[in-house]
């Protein structure tokens, strides 16, 4: 249920409504716009509540939301959410580019890549230290030493970092190093992890599970938002289909769908979305043309020697080419590429 307050309603009226919500055993989430306040109500809602709340002083309208997700819906928060990472803003006019290796391997690999992607215009460095791996026999990341390398390279190169956290018990550790916590596709419905990243106070990027519908994805987002963390962005990274020429099928249509139904920024990951380096540039351009707020791309100094995801990683040269092709597409969409700070 969403309670729309009258334009110019007083703090006392808003507090009165919140108190009534809480005394009914429900939770209130405030969205304070320039003109009016919207209150999202979550919990066991029954239709009679609508009439009761509509009678309270300062209330303009009460809307029973038909969609199961609420805090992530545009009905609750009509304006776009802006996520702030260091000096970078995501979800506004600027298109953010997050780039780096799939996995942190060595200091040299990470440092070289960070310098190259920054020089080409990336504004956030990506790199996995805790890697989800389908097979337990494959490289599963350096763990905490990988986080240390990320933090060291951030200092040397001056790019904020994003890295994955896989377990609720590791949230505190990973959050102590990173600027953005990434929840991977395999963990989209790890509900205890979602609650912990929600409590962390850090910006979060929630990847779409490869078998998840948009609704399931937004319900997963709801777990994070319900903890009071509104610094959340979504990432479309491809879904599993019958097609075998690509690793996943990047669901470009999910981008305008999210933009329509949710206020959360939407990022596209054409690397995992295709699994093939030569499809990364065309799909990155398509994602931005479809309205994505940014892209996440895997880049490696020597993709043929990468410990993980080499086949979908761009060389430095190809990454530069991507950036030069992305600029006019962003501009055609009335946007611009975020510039490195
Ligand atoms: C990654 O970004 O390195 C990753 C493992 O992605 P996903 O969770 O989308 O597979
Ligand atoms: Mn990867």
Q: pLDDT tens across 276-307, in order? A: 999 999 999 999 999 999 999 999 999 999 99
pLDDT score recorded for residue 67: 84
Contact 295, 97 (CB under 8 A): yes
We report the CATH number of the domain holding residue 97 as 3.20.20.70
Residue 341 reports pLDDT greater than 70: no
Atom of ligand 1 nearest to the CA of 237: 9
Element (H, E) at 209: none
By the 10 Å C-beta count (0-12 exposed, 13-18 middle, 19+ buried), 89 is classed as middle
Residues 57 and 102 in one domain: no
Determine the Cα–Cα distance for residues 44 and 323; give it in Å rounded to an integer.
Answer: 48
Whether residue 128 has its Cβ less than 6 Å from ligand 1? yes
pLDDT digits (tens, 9 = 90+) for 199-258: 999 999 999 999 999 999 999 999 999 999 999 999 999 999 999 999 999 999 999 999
We report the CATH number of the domain holding residue 38 as 3.30.70.1140
pLDDT digits (tens, 9 = 90+) for 63-122: 988 788 999 999 889 999 999 999 999 999 999 999 999 999 999 999 999 999 999 999
Contact 301, 106 (CB under 8 A): no
Mean pLDDT confidence for 311-317 = 98
| pTM beyond 0.85, yes or no | yes
The structural domain count of the chain equals 2
Determine the Cα–Cα distance for residues 50 and 22; give it in Å rounded to an integer.
Answer: 15
pLDDT digits (tens, 9 = 90+) for 126-180: 999 999 999 999 999 999 999 999 999 999 999 999 999 999 999 999 999 999 9
Determine the Cα–Cα distance for residues 285 and 295; give it in Å rounded to an integer.
Answer: 9
Determine the Cα–Cα distance for residues 311 and 313; give it in Å rounded to an integer.
Answer: 6
Torsion sign across C-alpha atoms 330, 323, 82, 198: positive
Whether residue 207 has its Cβ less than 6 Å from ligand 1? yes
Residue 98 lies in a domain: yes
Structural domain range at position 42: 2-63
CA of 81 from ligand 1 middle (Å) equals 23
Atom of ligand 1 nearest to the CA of 187: 8
DSSP per-residue codes, 228-281: T---EEEEE--B--S--SSSSB--TTHHHHHHHHB-S-EEE-HHHHHS-HHHHH
């Amino acid at each position: 249920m969403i309670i729309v307050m009258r334009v110019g309603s007083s703090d006392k009226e808003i507090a009165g409504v919140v108190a009534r919500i809480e005394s009914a055993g429900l939770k209130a989430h405030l969205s304070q716009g320039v003109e009016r306040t919207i209150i999202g109500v979550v919990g066991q809602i029954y239709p009679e509540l609508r009439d009761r709340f509509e009678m309270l002083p300062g209330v303009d309208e009460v809307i029973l939301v038909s969609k199961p997700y609420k805090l992530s819906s545009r009905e609750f928060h009509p304006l776009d959410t802006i996520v702030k990472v260091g000096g970078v803003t995501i979800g506004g006019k600027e298109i953010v580019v997050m780039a780096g290796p799939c996995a942190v391997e060595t200091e040299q690999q990470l440092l070289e890549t960070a310098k190259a992607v920054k020089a080409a215009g990336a504004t956030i460095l990506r790199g996995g230290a805790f890697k989800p791996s389908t097979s337990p026999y494959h490289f599963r990341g350096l763990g905490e030493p990988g986080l240390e390398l990320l933090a060291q390279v951030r200092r040397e190169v001056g790019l904020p970092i994003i890295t994955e956290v896989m377990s609720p018990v590791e949230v505190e550790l990973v959050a102590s190093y990173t600027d953005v916590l990434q929840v991977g596709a395999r963990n989209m419905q790890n509900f205890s992890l979602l609650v912990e990243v929600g409590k962390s106070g850090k910006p979060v990027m929630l990847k779409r599970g490869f078998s998840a519908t948009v609704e399931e994805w937004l319900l997963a987002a709801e777990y994070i938002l319900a903890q009071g963390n509104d610094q959340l962005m979504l990432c479309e990274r491809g879904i599993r289909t019958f097609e075998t020429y690509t690793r996943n099928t990047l669901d470009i249509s999910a981008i305008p769908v999210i933009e329509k139904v949710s206020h959360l920024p939407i990022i596209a990951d054409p690397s995992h979305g295709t699994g093939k380096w030569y499809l990364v540039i065309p799909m990155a351009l398509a994602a931005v043309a479809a309205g994505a707020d940014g892209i996440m791309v895997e880049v490696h100094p020597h993709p043929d020697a990468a410990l993980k995801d080499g086949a979908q990683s761009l060389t430095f040269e190809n990454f530069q080419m991507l950036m030069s092709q992305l600029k006019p597409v962003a501009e055609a969409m009335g946007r611009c590429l975020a510039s490195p700070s």
